[in-house]
Amino acid sequence: MTASLWMPVLARALTTGLVVVLASALAEAAGPFWGALIISLPVTAGPAYAFMALQHEPAFIAGAALNGFAANAATGAFLIVYARLAPAGPQPRALGAAVLAWLAGALLVSQIAWTPLAALALNGAVYGLGAALFRTGRRTDYRRSAVAARRWLDLLIRAAAVALFVTAVLAASSVLSPARTGVIAAFPVALTSTIVILHPRVGGAATAQLAVTAIRGVFGFGLTLLTLHLLVEPWGVARALLAALGVSLAWSAGLLALQRLASRPVR
């Protein structure tokens, strides 16, 4: 593989590893909201689509983004299943069931020719269900949890393993169609690896709360992909990527504002 082809692979691997370490440490130190907010940003998907644009026409990027948006609903199923099972069961069972839910959802998505409205309806239904299911769930404060001693080497090793996985996925996706590429790129690798790190350290209940909080943030990530799909052909790649990033930042800022309003004491 030439250096130009390795650049997007290595960039995605590096950013994924950094996000895993940052999100895990921040979620453990500050609580599930901040960890979920970091994971929901397009820090790993952004470089992947940017470098992909160097090798493909805007139509390819548009197709990948649309199918990635549809597959984002599978990530919602992942979060719902994990959040339901993690507080009362061991990590392998909860995470295994969540990954199976994602695979089932992604397989279904890959069989359908999506339109933006259909993908939006699917995401709205899945994430709306998640928000309704966990509306009154008990919140867990990490600072009151029995947190194991931090081992940075453990975080780095896990992040490196995830980076290698992402490298393999992107290398394989170079020969796939836009639809399949978008679905594969939507796999929540940073979210999965963060859960793998946090669950044994802070417990299932606290990590499940991160998943519950991420339901709102990851829906916003889907809107980022929708924005990219709609704008990449008429606006061009550079402006479409900037607009998609703006949508993501605006969504995260809105969640942060709502979080601050909810935390204000009632007078």
Crossing angle of helices 45-52 and 204-235, in 10° steps, is 30
Q: Which two tokens stand for residue 158?
A: 């896990």
Q: What is the mean pLDDT of residues 201-214?
A: 88
Percentage of the residues of the chain whose pLDDT score is greater than 70: 75
Reply yes or no on whether the pLDDT at 220 is more than 90: yes
Residue 50's nearest CA partner among 185, 216, 252, 187 is 185
Summarised one tens digit per residue, pLDDT across range 110-129 is 999 999 999 999 999 999 99
* Per-residue model confidence (pLDDT) at position 235: 96
* Per-residue model confidence (pLDDT) at position 239: 95
Q: Which two tokens stand for residue 210?
A: 């991160």
**Structural domain range at position 254:** 3-263
Reply yes or no on whether the pLDDT at 76 is more than 90: yes
Sign of the CA dihedral running 60, 62, 68, 70: negative
What domain count does the chain have? 1
Summarised one tens digit per residue, pLDDT across range 103-113 is 999 999 999 99
Q: What is the pTM of this model?
A: 0.85
Count of H-run helices and E-run strands, the chain: 11, 0
Q: Which helix (H) or strand (E) holds 23?
A: helix 3-30
More confident residue, 155 or 81: 81
Burial code of 177-192, b = ≥16 C-beta within 10 A, e = fewer?
ebbbbbbbbbbbbbbb
Crossing angle of helices 204-235 and 58-85, in 10° steps, is 170
* Per-residue model confidence (pLDDT) at position 165: 62
Q: Which two tokens stand for residue 8?
A: 């997007």
* Per-residue model confidence (pLDDT) at position 74: 97
**Residue 160: band (very low, low, confident or very high) from pLDDT cuts 50, 70, 90:** confident
Q: How many residues are present in the chain?
A: 267
Q: What is the mean pLDDT of the chain?
A: 82
- By CB atoms closer than 10 A (0-12, 13-18, 19+), residue 115 is exposed
Q: What is the mean pLDDT of residues 243-267?
A: 85
